[in-house]
Structure 1
């Protein structure tokens, strides 16, 4: 037990940084299923919390897939209370008619639920261990994955403004169970874990035990191969980073002209880097070919797009755009004051009327308290300071090459019923001056 705790504590010490800009808010969140892995993590976290005096919270995600789920949730609440760690139960529902595997649906729903509890500087602890790593590696091999997939699970990765950390990733399942028995811990057993119709369970019960018996060092070998694949992925990104920064434009679109200067292999990698930056699922090799041949290289007058799982890749003005389904914000409005950032809806970033900017180009009106933000261009006209006549915003968006799907996602600064400025595009001539600048900081 002691050596395992020391390993656990050393992993957390590497990633938990109480001296961040938000020290009072940084906390550790445990993904708590009640299985032996997370049950042991709760016990280790109890001791770590006492030693470090930090905020911890456990979350049980109730998928509703088992008749025992309510009982498991109750046990998790009780165990967390005994450990002195607060605990929440998150209920999720799965669309079992979607055609996706239950495993994938449950995993996606679980992480969406957990993301609600993770903020900047927080750590999310999950219980994956060395046997899980072998299973993940073999599943990637079965799918024909390249180095990205074969790198399997990292000890840590960015998640919802914080990080996922897997403190047990180098620890075998048998070690975890031995320590749990030694401590006299109780845990839940999910009956679905015995169902070998699921690929992961088939590997767990039929394949990995045979591999371990034949090659006792298989866990370390897989971990080493996964780490080497991850290193190769990092090296590729490092070598192509300059080219990627050149191809990536300010609005997070990707320049087709820049992509055309590279080989097919480098171009495919740059597109993958772009989608990774936008937190999209990685496309298959066939989808990568379609992105280039059917979207990027489509006829000039076409409006091509490729539907992927989480969104669409579209082309506009020799650029590739990643477009996700967005809520209608045309009815949203908010007042704005100088130098006080306004958080925009639907992760559209924040808007600031910056009075200290060296590029100030707006003159404040006589009653600045009447300034407001809207996203609805319907019926509005403006006269950019570089134009001789006013035009409907619909026409101006076209002239300024704003893609159709972004025209109701672009903030408009209003004074009463007059357009003052459109963020990132222009200032109306009637409000041209040197008092402030409208700064739009976009979110990914």
Structure 2
């Protein structure tokens, strides 16, 4: 990494700093450098430095992205500013217009950040890098916010100069540079930048820290941003070691749900782990499934509920966008969706001629959708000579799909020696209670043929190499 500036800035120093940082990175030959460009002083300095780098390295691709949030009356003029400055720098600029969700329980800052990154990351491929103009004072703000929220080492590690993204990497060349140095350099170079009026609104947490708190901290301890960054780096080192330990242990606690393709967390033996490891493993599981981490209090409540609930208890917890359920001594995670509960059983009948193309061999697969049916909307029908499959219906047999059969309904799966009641088979096949109402059952006239995705009734199974019908339900 390039060294921290301790001397007054000389002309060209900050551009040299940016170029040196980028030269040190292992950039792929076909790499695109995408700059999150707001037109503010810090991103203006980074755009200027990137233009200097681009002149020396024409082998790479470059893209500046301005995100138009529509939150300010000045947003159109800011977008025009970025387009003009990009032309001045010789770098292409794209304006992305987004809509920010608003609501009484939503943080405008957080929602704007989320859609901003979503818009920018659309421009990234696997070998590309995203450049952001976060600087040392931004790092101090992030650390203070992490302290305010009660975060542990992961949160206190704040921002890294190099971080992985879903596609590519994020680079922060100015993370070891102070706001004062950036502003002085912009003035030196005569860089034109915009001033976002919302930066003076201290109702936003970052602005409050920037306007009210950090100046007082710096007046007392001038080097606090630098020393706080060192603390963040130490937390990052400790977190990296912890992450390795968790990544080695976590797979032992995961398995694939019998009826879902998702990973679930096994609770066998979990109660015997120390409280610290219980928290670390469950945090690791939640994070591995792409959900935001709960607070310490929330996590402790989750652990208590999943460990102390009786086997037949319906554990159902919602934390933000994450739904947590327990079934068969396993923990399931889902993304929350407001769903209407299916009160009445639904059923639908196939037109008599629907299966003709499959039976006659004209096609090998059909997708069938029934309007108005809310629990199993799409049925996929396939003709196959392999795997469990049912015989095709005869011309005089009416084909229907029904839902929410009574638990006393007797079934005889092809893989079982004898029949059992449906309520017992739900347990045997590991189908969670909240999924059962969405599982479709296919009938020929009044005879049960299959539980879609689970079994074929033994009396309808096709033996040897005969052509038969396989059915899957894409919405479950």
Match of 2:99 among 92, 99, 110: 92
The answer to whether residue 239 in structure 2 is matched with residue 233 in structure 1 is yes
The answer to whether residue 316 in structure 2 is matched with residue 305 in structure 1 is yes
Task: State the match for 2:182 in structure 1.
Answer: 176
Q: What SS does the corresponding residue of 2:255 show, helix, strand or coil?
A: coil
1:303 deviation in Å? 1.7
Task: State the match for 1:111 in structure 2.
Answer: 117
Instruction: Tell me the alpha carbon deviations over residues 273-312 of structure 1, each in whole angstroms, 9 at most, x when there is no partner.
Output: 1112122111111101111112343222122121111221
Task: State the match for 1:403 in structure 2.
Answer: 432
Q: What SS does the corresponding residue of 2:229 show, helix, strand or coil?
A: helix
Instruction: Tell me the alpha carbon deviations over residues 387-435 of structure 1, each in whole angstroms, 9 at most, x when there is no partner.
Output: 357999999665421335667999xxxxxxx98994xx7899957889x
Task: State the match for 2:205 in structure 1.
Answer: 199
Match of 2:68 among 62, 65, 68: 62
Matched-pair contact (CA < 8 Å) for 1:362–1:433? no
Please give the alpha-carbon distance, in whole angstroms, between the structure 2 residues aligned to 1:253 and 1:80: 48
Higher Rg: 2
- State the TM-score, normalized to the length of structure 1: 0.75
Matched-pair contact (CA < 8 Å) for 1:121–1:162? yes
Please give the alpha-carbon distance, in whole angstroms, between the structure 2 residues aligned to 1:199 and 1:59: 25
The answer to whether residue 293 in structure 2 is matched with residue 286 in structure 1 is no
Matched-pair contact (CA < 8 Å) for 2:68–2:97? yes
The equivalences for 1:124-139 within 5 A come to 124-139=130-145
Q: What SS does the corresponding residue of 2:268 show, helix, strand or coil?
A: helix
The answer to whether residue 396 in structure 2 is matched with residue 386 in structure 1 is no
Task: State the match for 1:36 in structure 2.
Answer: 41
- Decide whether aligned partners of structure 1 residues 298 and 392 sit closer, same or farther in structure 2, where only a CA change above 3 A counts: closer
Task: State the match for 2:267 in structure 1.
Answer: 256
1:227 deviation in Å? 0.8
- Decide whether aligned partners of structure 1 residues 400 and 188 sit closer, same or farther in structure 2, where only a CA change above 3 A counts: same
The answer to whether residue 19 in structure 2 is matched with residue 9 in structure 1 is yes
- State the TM-score, normalized to the length of structure 2: 0.70
1:230 deviation in Å? 1.3
Please give the alpha-carbon distance, in whole angstroms, between the structure 2 residues aligned to 1:153 and 1:100: 23
1:229 deviation in Å? 0.9
Q: What SS does the corresponding residue of 2:216 show, helix, strand or coil?
A: helix
Please give the alpha-carbon distance, in whole angstroms, between the structure 2 residues aligned to 1:428 and 1:6: 73
Please give the alpha-carbon distance, in whole angstroms, between the structure 2 residues aligned to 1:398 and 1:56: 56
1:363 deviation in Å? 9.2
Structure 1 unaligned blocks of 5 or more: 329-334, 338-360, 366-375, 411-417, 439-444
Matched-pair contact (CA < 8 Å) for 1:58–1:86? yes
Please give the alpha-carbon distance, in whole angstroms, between the structure 2 residues aligned to 1:11 and 1:266: 38
Structure 2 unaligned blocks of 5 or more: 1-10, 257-261, 340-357, 365-385, 391-400, 406-410, 440-448, 471-476
Number of residue pairs the alignment of both structures matches: 395
- Decide whether aligned partners of structure 1 residues 173 and 314 sit closer, same or farther in structure 2, where only a CA change above 3 A counts: same
Matched-pair contact (CA < 8 Å) for 2:157–2:236? yes
- Decide whether aligned partners of structure 1 residues 28 and 408 sit closer, same or farther in structure 2, where only a CA change above 3 A counts: farther
After the TM superposition, which parts of structure 1 deviate over 4 Å for at least 4 consecutive aligned residues?
13-16, 361-365, 376-380, 382-385, 388-398, 404-410, 418-422, 425-434
Please give the alpha-carbon distance, in whole angstroms, between the structure 2 residues aligned to 1:75 and 1:379: 60
The answer to whether residue 286 in structure 2 is matched with residue 275 in structure 1 is yes
Matched-pair contact (CA < 8 Å) for 2:64–2:91? no
RMSD: 4.2
Q: What SS does the corresponding residue of 1:61 show, helix, strand or coil?
A: strand
- Decide whether aligned partners of structure 1 residues 327 and 146 sit closer, same or farther in structure 2, where only a CA change above 3 A counts: closer
The equivalences for 1:340-419 within 5 A come to 362=387, 386-388=415-417, 399-403=428-432
Q: Select between 183-192 and 48-57 the one with higher mean Cα deviation.
A: 48-57
